[in-house]
Structure 1
Amino acid sequence: MTKVAIITGAPNDQSRLNGILNYALTLLREEGISSEVIKVHALPAEDLITAKFDSLAITEANRIIKDSDGLLVLTPVYKASYSGILKTYLDLLPQKILEDKIILPLVIGGSFGHLLTIDYALNPVLSALGASHFVNGVFTIDHHIERKGLNQFTIQKEAQHRLKKGLDRFVKDLKISTPLI
């Protein structure tokens, strides 16, 4: 069965980025693709900050990525780049862990002025970790996602359309690379 790892660099579970996460999980489930989520904010902070490579939580998160066929990387934009919490985890990944994986960045920010964060900040770091097969990342404006309650979100139609297009391409590429889905 095809497996997807999802890394989310949201600072908490109330972030609008979780609306994108929930949407992606639903689409993957509908396609019969299993997924595991790594919420970086839930990993032990001391292990992240002190670069404790042998931490049980870190090695388990790394195993999820290693055993996956594809990877979704979700992050908010802060100061024209991906989140610092995401960076603390990416620094603990083995050098070539993303080789032969299909990668889809899903980014949320305040304006389309930060659109290039995907190509100029996030993708180069992922490439340094061995990634070479990128599906065009999807950038979503944060006000296109409305909080509806406890971890419940509504995504505006235009943003939903762009997310679905990116996720459909990701799934298509996964099916080509792992035909026994």
Structure 2
Amino acid sequence: MATVLSVSGSPSATSRTARLLRHLDARLTAQGHEVIPLDVRTIPAEALLGADFRHPAIVEATALFDRADGVVIGTPVYKAAYSGLLKALLDLLPQYGLAGKTVLPLATGGTTAHVLAIDYALRPVLSSMGAAHIVQGWFTLDRDIAVADDGTLTVAPDSAEALVQVVDQFSAALGSRTALLAAAG
């Protein structure tokens, strides 16, 4: 199937956003996709904040984006926008670093007041980077994501059902795009 880059833009090592992404990665893997996780917080701060395009971690991240057929972008919402950490990485990618990619934007946050952050903050940036298809994203409330002491993730039933739908739509879009590219090649 397709290669999917699953990007967590959370600065937290105990991030619900990252855990939710890894949970969704398992569904994509079960559907036959190769999933590559990328936690932006593992990229050295000096490379991100110093805009060091030649830093090995930035070169590697750029190569991962190049390699991917599809990209899942997950971010916590802070002050009605995606994380500054994610912004720092996106700023270092080539102008059209998402050209030809199918993209699934996901966000987590503490209040429904931030639901529109995907459409009004994140989607325009993804579009400006040349994404071929940005599928319907999803916002999940923090309170709908529970992590047990053993690390097991539980998502509230309504949110879990919605996430399954958007991930399956993303997977279907990837499959259609991969088939079209194979037929054209």
TM-score, normalised with respect to structure 1 = 0.95
- Any gaps of 5 or more consecutive residues in structure 2? none
Letter in 2 for 1:36: I
TM-score by length of 2: 0.93
Task: Report SS of the residue matched to 1:105.
Answer: strand
Please name the residue that 1:7 is paired with. Answer: 7
Q: 1:14, 1:151 within 8 Å by CA — same for their partners in 2? A: no
Task: Please tell me the residue identity of whatever aligns with 1:42.
Answer: T
Percent of paired sites with the same residue: 40
Aligned to 1:163: 163
Work out the number of aligned pairs and report it. 180
CA shift, 1:164, in A, is: 0.5
Q: Is the 8 A contact 2:6 2:25 kept in 1?
A: no
Post-superposition CA distance 1:51-91 (Å, at most 9, x none): 00011111111111111110000000000100111111111
Distance in 1, Cα, partners of 2:40 & 2:72: 13
- 1:96-140 deviations in Å (ceiling 9; x for gaps): 111111010010011221111001100111112112411110110
Structure ranking higher on relative contact order (CA contacts 8 Å, 6+ apart): 1
Q: Which amino acid aligns with 2:123?
A: N
Give matches, 1:1-181, under 5 Å.
Answer: 1-149=1-149, 151-179=151-179
Q: Give per-residue Cα distances to partners, 1:114-173, cap 9 Å, x unaligned.
A: 111001100111112112411110110000001212543211111111110000000000
C-alpha separation in 2, matches of 1:71 and 1:12: 21
| Matches of 1:51 and 1:114, distance apart in 2 | 29
In structure 1, what is the Cα distance between the partners aligned to 2:128 and 2:2? 24
Task: Name structure 1 gaps, 5 residues minimum.
Answer: none
Q: CA deviation at 1:46?
A: 0.4
